[in-house]
Amino acid sequence: MEIVRSHRQIAAAAAGGGGGDGGGRAGGLPTYRLAPQLEVRLEEFELFAIDRLGVLKGIADGLSRGKRPEEMEKLVNELWKARMRRQDPAETLNKDIISHFVLRLVYCRTEELRKWFLSMETTLFRYRFRLESHESQRMLMSEFQLPYKALPHLEFEAVKDKLSQVARSIGQSATVESVFFKVPFEEVPDLVASRRVFLSKGYAYVAMSQVVSLVVTQFRCNISKALVLTNRKWMATIKEEEKDRLTPIVEALSNAYFGPDYSQPKDAVEISLKDIDQLARTSFPLCMRHMLEKLRENHHLKHGGRMQFGLFLKGAGLKLEDALAFWRAEFSQKVGSERFDKEYAYSIRHNYGKEGKRTDYTPYSCQKIISATPGVGDHHGCPYRHFGEENLRAALNKMGVSGHPLEEIMDKVKNRHYQLACTLTFEAAHGVSCDTGINHPNQYFSESQNMLKAKNQAVQSQPTT
């Protein structure tokens, strides 16, 4: 991809072609196989990327609100129309391909960024694929080299009952689709995980409508590999070569949109051991309050809880020595301080990046916490998702939330909008409205702290006359 400063027209020919432009397209959807042979104006480099980022951010938002697939499909369509579509379909394709490759540069540079980008681009692709015609979808399947042949009639008849049973078990009609593919189960992990396919002897029987899963898995795999390669290239040559031109744009783009990850607590924010209970009452989100309560009660937390809560405390500014003292004070009441030192202290130091491969672990975001799978005896995860209704109401009452706000929150929970529920809780507990939605427990904590500090300052600066 050639980036030029002049106002020359973009080579439309490159975009207009079929598969040959290297963007790799079949049907209406590019697959971003190879960097396109296009010329791009510097201004467009940034603008296209920003528009696409808007789409990706909109998708992230939709996902965190727990939107159903039909809603996501609609959302993606709207976002794409609003930000990416041009009059000339050739121009749209152009923008599509260029913006994708620019964002690859932006998001290839750390593991976290790659993960986010991969996740959003895959989701975008998934819904765009669903919106394509059958013809286009079939072409894309062959583009992705999915050599699966449709099930021959006899075999289909043999398993038809089971296929029907599976369809009904996931709430679809009993009349079975007519086209099925027999695919090794490894290729469709998400369908296996949710028991949406019939399995027999290592094969999954996948309906045409589920084929999206197949294609998307492949897409994700390709992009994942490409990102790693892009990162290498970036580090090896591009970053340095472009340090006066593209690099600053790339760096600004990623900071602008990704948001803080709380891996390094902001300067001068520190919490000390003795403050924890007090802070929990005023500023911890429900998930962390709950774990503290259980920790105090049982003098123990299982692994999932130790990770989620421990990293949160780190992000909030609890120093390693204080963290060790904190956990030891509780655990030694149950297992003795010798066992604590032997079995638990190591992993606390590990969380702070002082052991093993010294990764400084990042506190979990809401997305990660919501997707946890707490088992028997666990207290981690997101209470809005994992608590039964009675328990949740009781917990919120303890936080001082009741009446109409409580009902609003429970309503959000019923519709699986867990982060919105938490945001409403924040608003009810602090008596203010919160403009930015909550998507990270440490964000809840720092917003709360900021608010309280501001209140204190306002009180102090009241004129005394």
Partner 1 sequence: MEIDGQHQQEATTAVPHGFNADYLRIYYGKLFPHGDFFKWLSYGNDGKHPGCDQSFVGRREFSFTLENDIYLRFQSFDSVAEMENSIKEKCPFKIDIGPPAKRHAYAQSGNNVFVPVERELIFDIDISDYDDVRYCCSGADVCKDCWPLMTIAIKILDASLRDDFGFNHILWAYSGRRGVHCWVCDSRARKLNNEQRAAIADYFRVYKGGENTMKKVSLTGPVLHPFLARSYTDVLKCFFEDKLLLSQQLFASEERYRKILDLIPDENIASELHDKWQGNRRSSISKEDVNATRWEQLKTTLQSGKQKAQGLRRCVEEIVFSYTYPRLDMEVSKHMNHLLKAPFCIHPKTGRVCVPIDPNNCDDFDPTTVPTLSQLLGELNADGLHSNSENGK
Residues near partner 1 (CB under 8 A) are 162, 165-166, 168-171, 185-186, 189-190, 192-195, 198-203, 290, 294, 303, 342, 357, 373-379, 381, 383, 386-388, 390-392
In angstroms, the CA 263 to CA 363 distance is 6
Q: How far is the CB of 297 from partner 1 (least distance, A)?
A: 11
Q: Which residue's CB is nearer to partner 1, number 310 or number 381?
A: 381
- The answer to whether the beta carbons of residues 362 and 311 sit under 8 Å apart is yes
Q: How far is the CB of 190 from partner 1 (least distance, A)?
A: 7
Question: What is each CA distance from 423 to 396, 431, 437, 441, in whole angstroms?
Answer: 13, 12, 6, 11
Q: Which residue's CB is nearer to partner 1, number 38 or number 395?
A: 395
Q: How far is the CB of 8 from partner 1 (least distance, A)?
A: 44
Nearest 5°: the CA angle 421, 423, 427 is 115
Whose CA is closest to 159, among 188, 209, 201?
201
Q: How far is the CB of 326 from partner 1 (least distance, A)?
A: 22
Q: Which residue's CB is nearer to partner 1, number 221 or number 269?
A: 221
In angstroms, the CA 99 to CA 250 distance is 12
Q: Which residue's CB is nearer to partner 1, number 7 or number 201?
A: 201
Whose CA is closest to 296, among 274, 338, 269, 326?
326
Residues in the chain: 465
The HSE-up count of residue 117 (CA atoms within 13 Å, CB side) is 29
Q: Which residue's CB is nearer to partner 1, number 28 or number 305?
A: 305
Q: How far is the CB of 315 from partner 1 (least distance, A)?
A: 23
Q: How far is the CB of 226 from partner 1 (least distance, A)?
A: 18
Q: What is the DSSP string of 324-352?
A: HHHHHHHHHHHH-HHHIIIIIHHHHHHHT
* Residues contacting 253, CB < 8 A, separation 6+: 46, 49, 50, 53, 103, 106
Whose CA is closest to 359, among 82, 55, 111?
111
Q: How far is the CB of 215 from partner 1 (least distance, A)?
A: 16
Nearest 5°: the CA angle 399, 312, 390 is 35
In angstroms, the CA 223 to CA 122 distance is 9
Q: Which residue's CB is nearer to partner 1, number 189 or number 400?
A: 189
Cα distance from N-terminal residue to C-terminal residue, the chain: 67
Q: Which residue's CB is nearer to partner 1, number 98 or number 214?
A: 214
Q: How far is the CB of 194 from partner 1 (least distance, A)?
A: 7
Instruction: Specify which residues 150 forms β-bridges with.
Output: 181
Q: Which residue's CB is nearer to partner 1, number 178 or number 194?
A: 194
Tokens of 166: 């599976």
Q: How far is the CB of 116 from partner 1 (least distance, A)?
A: 17
Q: Which residue's CB is nearer to partner 1, number 359 or number 402?
A: 359
Amino acid at position 63, single letter: L
